[in-house]
Amino acid sequence: MLKSELLEIIANGKSSGVEFKRDDVRPEQLAKDVVAMANFWGGCVLLGVEDDGTITGIQHQNLE
């Protein structure tokens, strides 16, 4: 995926196929969201993006 495509997805906001997650999301919640999307039509979960589309990134210590 190109950077421009990713930015366009973020600009279009959350939908049934796109979910934004802060970098402090609990693994259990992330797993539930991924399974729900997989059971529906698929989609993508973007980590390090606030609900309003602000890109905040991911802190290294939160990757574990």
Three state DSSP letters for 3-31: HHHHHHHHHHCCECCEEEECCCCCHHHHH
pLDDT class of 62 with cuts at 50, 70, 90: low
pLDDT of residue 24: 86
Q: What is the pLDDT of residues 11-58, one digit of tens each?
A: 999 988 899 998 888 889 889 988 988 888 888 899 999 999 999 998
Question: Any idea where the domains of the chain sit in the sequence?
Answer: 15-56
